[in-house]
């Protein structure tokens, strides 16, 4: 009971100080208040934080009457002065509160963690969406890639940073220090984005393998006992893992800029690299396959749709209607050639027909929207438990043709998927 009273008191004190900060005109006093508020905010318990989110969502909104008056004035005479007045009236005061808080040392990290906590409770508290939207709006500016520093992480990087890489790897788990050491050898590279206010905290990182040719399986790339490839063998740069380190930055575009920045850097460093590609999972494929929704597939012609239905019927007979069998290594490896072709066809259908829709595979949407081309499907490219369960072991190569990235991106925004002749032949 005593702790609850203390929490409520801290919450009230925070909100009182927040009002003071918004009304403060002096720069020096404003900075002192911001420091005090950030310290209080960092010390709030989860229950008190929830109350703060409630108050931010309820009490720091624009004045409806002022917004209406400014909008009517602008509608009557849409000049620059009235537009600026409308913008000022419609901006939530909490945005200015967050800006002033961010003046304090260490505030950027605290505000990112604040949004992380807010996002974790958003499903239970949809009324917080306006607060979340304001933070996302500000972070999209504060974490603009133009402000970020790209750095290569190697074995000589600080131990604390290397520990964070191990902890945050989200695609292919790093099995201890020996595994990490192999991933940082000369034929493996790791690049991360850092913010000037968070210099020792990677925001996002990408792992790259330098190889003689486009790979079809992940195991050789992450084999910690694999021999190091000599420099004269480097022909292809393969982005095989990208991991976000900070949940509080969800929705802020970082990965697409990092991949392009790394590709440009590697092209300058190793001019003989002839192509840049990924080796990616299809995390939504197995679930889509089990649901079997082939009635509404945009962009497919009637013959393609008929072939897709026939492929699904064949696979259903092969697995006896137990789709989970296609997420197990042994049944997959025992598929005959016709069934293997059916599985490849359905994967191609899923990626081509669904990726431009909100229901599309998230990894496919990321790379295709980033300007890549769907290049090749690789059966049993990932035999890990996760790869089998989510993707039926399938992996994809997306090709980054640096001269065509913008055109492919523009086409994707219009619902068109860039894919190779090999993928087209599967449809």
For 106, phi then psi, to 5°, come to 80, 0
Look up residue 419 and give its DSSP letter: B
| Distance separating alpha carbons of residues 140 and 148, to the nearest angstrom | 12
Catalytic residue among 30, 48, 280, 355: 280
Query: Virtual CA dihedral for 352, 355, 356, 357, nearest 10 degrees?
Result: 120
| Distance separating alpha carbons of residues 42 and 114, to the nearest angstrom | 8
| Distance separating alpha carbons of residues 43 and 159, to the nearest angstrom | 28
User: CB–CB of 352/299 below 8 Å?
Assistant: yes
Helices 176-183/159-168 angle, 10° precision:
100
Catalytic residue among 168, 172, 195, 367: 367
The DSSP bridge partners found for residue 10 are none
> Between the CA of residue 354 and those of 217, 298, 416, what are the distances in Å?
24, 7, 11
- Residue 275 a catalytic site member: no
User: CB–CB of 400/255 below 8 Å?
Assistant: no
| Distance separating alpha carbons of residues 163 and 168, to the nearest angstrom | 9
User: CB–CB of 137/95 below 8 Å?
Assistant: yes
- Residue 280 a catalytic site member: yes
| Distance separating alpha carbons of residues 237 and 206, to the nearest angstrom | 12
- Residues labelled as active-site residues: 280, 367
């Amino acid at each position: 009971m005593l702790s609850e009273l203390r929490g409520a008191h801290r919450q009230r004190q925070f909100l009182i100080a927040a009002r003071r900060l918004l009304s403060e005109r002096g720069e020096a006093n404003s900075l002192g208040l911001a420091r005090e508020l950030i310290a209080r905010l960092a010390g709030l318990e989860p229950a008190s934080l929830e109350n703060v989110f409630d108050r931010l969502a309820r009490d720091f909104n624009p004045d409806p009457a002022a917004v209406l008056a400014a909008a009517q004035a602008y509608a009557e005479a849409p000049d620059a002065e009235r537009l600026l007045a409308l913008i000022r009236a419609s901006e939530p005061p909490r945005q200015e509160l967050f800006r002033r808080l961010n003046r304090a040392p260490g505030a950027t990290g605290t505000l990112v963690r604040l949004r992380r906590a807010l996002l974790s409770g958003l499903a239970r508290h949809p009324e917080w969406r306006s607060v979340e939207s304001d933070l996302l709006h500000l972070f999209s500016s504060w974490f603009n890639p133009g402000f970020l520093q790209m750095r290569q992480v190697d074995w000589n990087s600080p131990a604390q940073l290397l520990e964070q890489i191990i902890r945050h790897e989200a695609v292919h788990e790093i099995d201890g220090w020996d595994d990490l050491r192999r991933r940082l050898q000369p034929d493996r590279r790791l690049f991360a984005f850092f913010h000037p206010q968070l210099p020792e905290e990677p925001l996002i990182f990408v792992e790259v393998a330098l190889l003689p040719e486009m790979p079809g399986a992940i195991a050789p790339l992450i084999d910690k006992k694999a021999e190091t490839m000599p420099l004269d063998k480097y022909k292809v740069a393969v982005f095989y893992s990208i991991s976000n380190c900070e949940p509080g930055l969800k929705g802020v575009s970082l990965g697409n800029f990092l991949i392009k920045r790394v590709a440009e850097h590697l092209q300058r460093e190793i001019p003989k690299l002839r192509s840049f590609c990924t080796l990616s999972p299809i995390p939504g494929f197995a679930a889509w396959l089990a649901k079997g929704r082939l009635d509404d597939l945009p962009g497919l012609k009637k013959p393609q749709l008929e072939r897709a239905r026939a492929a699904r019927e064949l696979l259903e007979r092969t697995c006896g209607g137990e789709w989970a069998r296609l997420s197990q290594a042994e049944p997959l490896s025992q598929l005959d050639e016709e069934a293997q072709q059916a599985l490849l066809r359905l994967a191609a259908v899923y990626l081509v027909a669904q990726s431009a829709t909100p229901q599309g595979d998230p990894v496919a949407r990321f790379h295709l929207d980033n300007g890549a081309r769907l290049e090749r499907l690789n059966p049993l490219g990932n035999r890990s438990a996760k790869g089998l369960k989510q993707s039926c072991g399938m992996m994809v190569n997306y090709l980054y043709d640096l001269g065509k990235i913008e055109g492919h991106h523009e086409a994707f925004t219009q619902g068109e998927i860039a894919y190779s002749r090999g993928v087209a032949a599967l449809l």
